[in-house]
Amino acid sequence: MSEERVASASDSPQSFRIKDKDKLSVEIRYRGVEEKLSGTVESVWFSLNRFFNEFLPSFEIAQKLRLNVDLQRLAKDCEGIIAFAKEGPYLLVPRNKLTDNETFSLLLLAGYLAHQLGNAEHDEVSKEELQGKLGKEAKIANTRLGELVKNQTAVKTPDEKYRITTLGLMQMQKDVIPKIKTKMGI
């Protein structure tokens, strides 16, 4: 009895040949997780049930807890707020309609989108560029960037640049962009 066969949903129990009556092996592949179960029919059955009862629900819950950004939706949400040109990203919202933190957050978001859409080599923005676009003193820019880092909207990179975090992207999409669109009547 040396013949093995991979089971499919349409197979009947009579279509399998038993290689070793005392041992059962099952291989599970699901969303990047691989599990091999081997042993008596009873032990594999219990292990398989435990996998479905314990692992899959926690995996599904973990997937729901994971911060994910839908790039296409995010880009669509930014229509009328951010635009891209050869020189780089631009904010289409008048500066006087935005707080300093909204301006910085939008500029970091623009850097992220430019990179993700292939318009920039990296998603980081220098403090000098941010300060220049804000149009305020270095002390004010440093304070505002510190606030964004403290509330986890942005991170400071080892080379002294800034990048928006995934949490920051989610906050922008959920709260800040709708608020700005309401201010602008978009």
CATH class held by domain 71-184: mainly alpha
| pLDDT one-digit tens code per residue, 35-84 | 888 888 878 877 877 777 777 666 666 666 666 778 888 889 999 999 98
What SS3 class is residue 119? coil
Delimit the domains of the chain by residue range: 13-65, 71-184
| pLDDT one-digit tens code per residue, 147-171 | 999 999 999 999 999 999 999 999 9
pTM of the model: 0.66
Q: Are 82 and 113 in contact (CB under 8 A)?
A: yes
Q: What span, in angstroms and rounded, lies between the C-alpha atoms of 166 and 127?
A: 20
| pLDDT one-digit tens code per residue, 71-86 | 888 889 999 999 988 8
